[in-house]
Each structure stands twice: as C-alpha cells, then as structure tokens.
Amino acid sequence: MARQFVTLQIVTALSVLTLMGAGTRANDLSPDNSITPAADVAAAPQWNMWGAALGGGGTTQGDADAGTSDVNSYGYGLATGWGKFVSPTEMRGFYIAAGGLGWDVADDLGDGKGVFLQGSVNTTKFLSSGYVSASGTYGFTNMKSNSVVEDETISAEFNTHTLTSRLEAGHALSPTLTPYAALQLKLIYTPAYDQDTTGDTEGLALGFDDSTQTSARTELGLKMQTKASNGLSLTGSLAWAHDFTGDESVQAHFVAIESDSFTITGAKPASDSALVSLGTTFAPSANTTLSFNVNGQFNEDSQNYGGGVSLAVTW
C-alpha cells in the first residue's frame, strides 16, 4: 500500500507542474502573439507591458500496473511581463508568474495542494515572413500531499525546482496561416524529504532521496489569425506534441526502521498529445489591447483545459 500512495504523490505532482507549465509559456501569456512581418516592426511601439490572470484543470486516468488511480487537478495564477524592441527586428522581454495548484485522487485516496513562482526571459527575432523565438524559465513549487491508508493519513511537504528551455520557429504562408515547430527541454529537481504519519501507519512512512526527472517535447502545429476592421482579432492554433520522458523512478526507504533503499517507478505519461487553443483580442485604443483565450491538451490518458484574460499597454 505504501508503494501505491507514494507513486500517486509523485505522478500527480509532476502532472500538475506540467499543466501549469503549459499554461504559462511566454507566447501563450502575451496578449498579442501574432506574427508581425519585419517590415511592420519598425513602426510598432518600442515598449509593452501586460498582465494576465490564468486558470486551468484536468483529469488524468490512473495506471493499474503502476498502482495509480484517477486524479483531478487544477491550477490558477497571475502573471505580468515587459517587452522591448532592442533593434528594429528583435524584441526581448521577461515575465513573472505566481499562483496555486492542487489535486484530488479518486476514491478518497488522497489530495494535495501547493504554490508556485515562475520567472522567464525570452527573445523573438522577426524575419521577412516569419520568426524565431527562444525562452528560458525557472519555476519553484512548494507542495503538500496527503494519502489515506486504513483511515490514517500519511502526509509530506516537498519542493521542486524546474528549468525549461524552448526554441520555436514559424513561417507565414499568408497573413492568416503560420506553420510552426518547437523544441522544449525540461528538468525537474526534487530535494530529499520524508513523509510524516501517526498511529498504526507510522511504519509505512517513507523517506525519499533527491531526484531529477528530464523530458523533451517536440511540437508541429499551425497558428491562425484573422483581423477585423473594428479592432477585433481572432486567433487559434492546432498542434501535435510528442513527449520524450526520461527515468521516472525515485529511490526510497522506510523512515522508522533501518532498511535498504528500493526503487519506486511512476506511471509513464502518454507520448502523443493534441494541443488546441482559441482566442480573441480587442483593441479599445491604439495602445491598449484586451485578450481572452482558452486552450486544451488531450491524449489517451488525460484531458487538460486552461484559459486566461490579459491586458496589454504599448508605448
């Protein structure tokens, strides 16, 4: 039983981090993520500032072979960012984001919650009919989890540190269609920690060695945009994502007794996902834009949804 609940804790924590990470990419948060031809960039405002409110949730199916159950997860946060054209065809910027997340395991087997902080720097080079962008992101998350064993609670508090890098390029086929490709690398480091428990389950408390999980993602997709004369723009994207995951195992030992370490392996996530997003941007004035967007990630094991509203000012 201890093995099962520890595996649940690890898998759900990483799932929520993945959900929030997907929802806080710089190009998703920016109120205007359209592709601007290089010829038009020189005439654009040189500075922009924006703020956004984000939220999302999803369901991940359990894996009987790995001893996991279905999990419902959610996340929310606030973000703000700045950008500046450092040359007529290159913009650089950064953003910071903070918020909360949580999860609930089916059949009342446990739950968890946490808070996160993210910071990112990014740069975009505008070409005659396309773009190349790169970003680097650091995230810190503090999480608390509870698992129920024979009416007793096993709890834990742990931190994670996440580093993400992303490279993306697109080429406009027309003013409304831009195919793109992206490569994303992620590293999640979890320092060592121990579980806490009371009562008859005291002997089931585990201690965990520090661990590092790495993954890579490729994306191939199509971005779409239409503009109306009344200042309203409609945006959307459709993409296929393929995830390459590394070693999902961790080393653990029993806290109450002297024992050798043993390996716990989490459920392997689905490799292929469909990414979908829809948004609208309204410009009430020449230097102000208000944007709304919804997005989703779907595969054979999980369905995740997110959305946000953002306000940007340029000068």
State the pLDDT at residue 169.
Answer: 96
- When computed from its CA atoms, the radius of gyration of the chain, rounded to whole angstroms, is 21
The pTM for the full model equals: 0.85
Which helix H or strand E contains 311, and what residues bound it?
strand 302-314
Q: What is the pLDDT along the chain (315 residues), one digit of tens a residue?
A: 333 344 344 444 444 444 444 333 434 444 444 444 444 555 555 788 999 999 999 988 877 666 667 888 899 999 999 999 888 889 999 999 999 999 888 877 788 999 999 999 999 999 988 999 999 999 999 999 888 776 777 889 999 999 999 999 999 999 899 999 999 999 999 999 988 886 666 677 888 889 998 999 999 999 999 987 777 889 999 999 999 987 777 888 888 777 778 887 766 778 999 999 999 998 888 889 999 999 999 999 889 999 999 999 988
Q: Is residue 19 exposed (0-12), middle (13-18) or buried (19+ Cβ within 10 Å)?
A: buried
Q: Each residue of 285-295: pLDDT tens digit?
A: 888 999 999 99
Give first-to-last CA distance, the chain, whole Å.
59
Burial class (CB in 10 A: 0-12, 13-18, 19+), 29: buried
Q: Which residues contact 75 (CB under 8 A, 6 or more apart)?
A: 16, 19, 20, 23, 54, 55, 56, 57, 99, 100, 101, 102, 306
Strands (E), 88-192: 90-105, 110-126, 130-149, 152-171, 177-190
Sign of CA dihedral 120, 139, 274, 184: positive
pLDDT tens for 190-246 read 999 988 886 666 677 888 889 998 999 999 999 999 987 777 889 999 999 999 987
**What secondary structure letter does DSSP report for 25?**
-
Short-list 233, 217, 199, 23, CA closest to 120: 23
What are phi and psi for residue 22, nearest 5 degrees?
-65, -30
**Residue with the two structure tokens 């129920």:** 148
Alpha helical stretches, state H, the chain: 2-23, 26-29, 38-41
pLDDT at 66: 62
Question: CA distances (Å), 156 to each of 118, 144, 181, 207, in order?
Answer: 23, 6, 39, 10
Q: How far apart are CA 40 and CA 63, in angstroms?
A: 51
Q: Alpha carbon of 255 to those of 156, 264, 285: distances in Å?
A: 13, 15, 62
- Pair 56, 23: CB distance under 8 Å: yes
Res 5: pLDDT: 40
pLDDT of residue 100: 95
Which residue is it, tokens 């609670």?
Answer: 153
What are residue 228's DSSP bridge partners?
Answer: none
